[in-house]
Structure 1
Amino acid sequence: MSDKNPWNSQLYDRKMSFVSILGKGILDLLDAKPGERILDVGCGTGDLSQEIAIAGALPMGIDFSEEMISAARQKYPHLPFSVADAHDFRTSESFDAVFSNAALHWMKQPEKVAESIWLALRPGGRFVAEFGGAGNVAQVIMALKRVLAAIGVDAEERMPWYFPSIGSYTALLEQHGFTVTFAQLFDRPTPLPDGEGGIAHWLNAFCAPFFVSMQDHEKAEVYREIATQLRPYLYQNGTWVIDYKRIRVAAIKPANP
């Protein structure tokens, strides 16, 4: 996760559990084997690290958020979790695979993250990830920019996300020595829980950098205006459906680079 967003682990687990649930699909691409050592980058509250462990592998989860790691340790005390920044993460251990779900788009220096992943992998090891790609939450971003501009805030300056194209991200991996074996950009319209209130919970969970120094009543007013602008596009039959676009990628660190 990111240092730019103050994570609330209880809100994340209670209202945004779809992140881990939908992330289970990427586990098929990972195909963890018993005994493999797997690094989970941006592990959040640890749900997918636990799924990796259920497959018989040996996961280690890292996340920049102390609150997320604290929650992961409470939920899964039998698994190792550490507070760490993937931009400069270094370890003496060598992993068979590095895995990441819904985290890399919070890391705005992707070349540093790619280097960390490369160094963590053994020769022949694999990297498997899913995260926001080009066009992710485009309607939300347009509404944020319009609403915040009206009150004198430049949303672009506060943008916490990195949403690359398939071409730019696979090229970055190749520049670091990886062999890319799979890459896909796809739409994933994602329904939010809690009906009318779903968009406010989503903005609270994922958009805090845009609302820095705002009082609660100011945020509530901004949320209402954002909801008004998004309603024609993202509110369907009583449910908010966020316009997600995701990248899935798999790559190998060659045995003989």
Structure 2
Amino acid sequence: MKEAEQGKWDADHYDTQMHFVSKLGRGVVELLGPVQGESVLDLGCGTGSLAGQMALLGAEVTGVDFSETMIEQARLKYPELLFEVGDARTYRSGRKFDAVFSNAALHWVPQADEAARTVAEALRPGGRFAAEFGGFGNVARIERAIHEAVREEGIDPEPRNPWYYPTIGEYTGVLERAGLDVRFAERFDRPTELPGGEEAIRHWLHAFAGSFLAGTDAAARERITQSVEERLRPELFRDGTWTGDYCRIRVLAWKPQG
């Protein structure tokens, strides 16, 4: 969602190398349970794969993402659906939706209260919100390795860190402050096999860690990448496969009737 801080998203790379993100988001679609004729706002829709799945179930889906490149790709893939460039913190359409859906997007929005207000404003009374995103401890080993490698280049990683990984208590409080009634919330570990074999961590860094590398030359980027690989290999690489130390939060909330 935060393209200005992440660096410009590579939508083709996201679809070809990070396709597991949408695959693992199918459980959130099941949690939402969209039905024929319902209007759904997909907040942080990426290249539209899950919006397309919800449309196949009969929902009338509008996809919104901060990244223009992601929206361009979504429009090419699903020309029959409506996709808009928008910021989760400020998006207002004037429409009311039966449901808001979000997968793997809200951990890019540290201004969580603003995003929750966007959700609440978008929902009709009685509408529901289903989401999954990184929770406290998500990719902690990868994040630590990135910070250490970046510091080796004389760069302070803290201002470059784009991620927001709240505790479950913190995030349910965010939703309640926005006036939403939390019905279900869980935090769970989900070790995730990363596609790409030996190159998987490189693909992951290219897709998600661009802000840490912004402004560096090719040689520095290669040194940082190699340092991250070396630090993580003993923990996260087994039998030719890299596994990300993912930890997720999944929530379901309603907007009260009145």
Q: Does 1:121 find its partner at 2:126?
A: no
Q: Deviation above 6 Å: which 4+ runs of structure 1?
A: none
| Secondary structure of 1:201 counterpart | helix
Q: Supply the distance in 1 between the matched residues of 2:214 and 2:196 (Cα, whole angstroms).
A: 25
Q: Give the TM-score, by structure 1 length.
A: 0.98
Match in the other structure for 1:184? 186
Structure 2 residue corresponding to 1:80, chosen from 79, 82, 93: 82
Please tell me whether the aligned partners of residues 100 and 123 of structure 2 are also in contact (alpha carbons under 8 angstroms): yes
Q: Provide the aligned C-alpha RMSD in A.
A: 0.7
What is the identity, as a one-letter code, of the residue corresponding to 2:108? W
Q: Percent identity?
A: 49
Structure 1 partner of 2:108: 106
Q: How much has 1:141 moved relative to structure 2?
A: 1.0
Deviates more, 1:211-220 or 1:118-127: 211-220
Q: How many residues align?
A: 256
Map 1:18-37; keep pairs closer than 5 Å: 18-37=20-39
Counterpart AA for 1:216: A
- Residues 38-57 of structure 1: pairs in structure 2 closer than 5 A: 38-57=40-59
Counterpart of 1:155, as a letter, is P
Describe the SS at the equivalent of 2:121: helix
Normalising to structure 2: TM-score of the pair?
0.98
Equivalents in 2 of 1:222, 1:174: separation in Å? 40
Aligned residue number for residue 241 of structure 1: 243
Select which of 193, 200, 203 maps to 1:201. Answer: 203
* Shift, 1:217, TM fit: 2.4
- CA–CA separation in structure 1 for the residues paired with 2:207 and 2:174: 29
Corresponding letter in the other structure for 1:188: R
Once residues 12 and 82 of structure 2 are traced to their aligned partners in structure 1, the CA distance between those partners, rounded to angstroms, is 20
Q: Read off the aligned partner of 1:145 and give its amino acid letter.
A: H
User: SS in structure 2 opposite 1:62?
Assistant: strand
Structure 2 residues not aligned, in runs of 5+: none
Instruction: Say which SS state the counterpart of residue 245 (structure 2) adopts.
Output: strand
Aligned to 2:221: 219
